[in-house]
Amino acid sequence: MTVLTRELEINSEAQAIWQHIIDVPSWANWQEHVSESSWSDDAEPAVGSRLHFRYNHNQNSPLVEAEVTGLRPNKELSFQPVGGDLPYTDGMSGLEWEWLLFPQSNGRTWLRFTLTYQADGGSPFFKELLGTRVQFLNFADSALRAVRDMFDQQGEELASATNQTQ
């Protein structure tokens, strides 16, 4: 089993970040590798709900249909593929994506993104080892930075507005 994890401290409360993560239709606005995203059939976030997203990966744009496997408000959103354009990547199976939030006492939050999968071995495994792993880590870094930058920008705008009214 391969587990790829990236995390970053965000200058915001977990609840605000959670609202951003759970807003699946907005993913395409802030995740540069996602070109479309939505809840399936206007589903509400819940374990068993379905979502879909299309992402740019290895010169392809596969559609992933996924089911929520873990949902704890302000703490966890995890999901596994149940359909779409299979295979997403040759040599990979058992994928699961996970967003975890860890609130800190200083009002900041650690946000962790994890992708877990089984590398099936053989020729596809070597392709995965050489390219896919690096690409997924780059995607994770990019998504985490986008969330951090959004909340840093909101903090700067709030500070600027406060300074202008004083």
Q: What is the pLDDT along the chain (166 residues), one digit of tens a residue?
A: 888 899 999 999 999 999 999 999 999 999 988 999 999 987 889 999 999 999 876 677 888 899 999 999 999 999 999 988 766 666 677 889 999 999 999 999 999 999 998 877 656 556 555 667 777 888 899 999 999 999 987 655 544 444 454 5
Report the predicted TM-score, pTM, of the whole model to 2 decimal places. Answer: 0.84
Q: Are 148 and 8 in contact (CB under 8 A)?
A: yes
Domain count for the chain: 1
Q: Which domain holds residue 22?
A: 2-165
pLDDT on residue 128: 57
pLDDT on residue 44: 86
CA pair distance 142, 121, nearest whole angstrom: 28
CA pair distance 88, 129, nearest whole angstrom: 15
CATH number of 145's domain: 3.30.530.20
Residue type, 78: S
Strand partners, 52: 38, 65
Other residues' Cβ atoms within 10 Å of the Cβ of residue 161: 9
pLDDT on residue 144: 93
Residues contacting residue 56 through CB under 8 Å, at least 6 positions apart: 33, 35
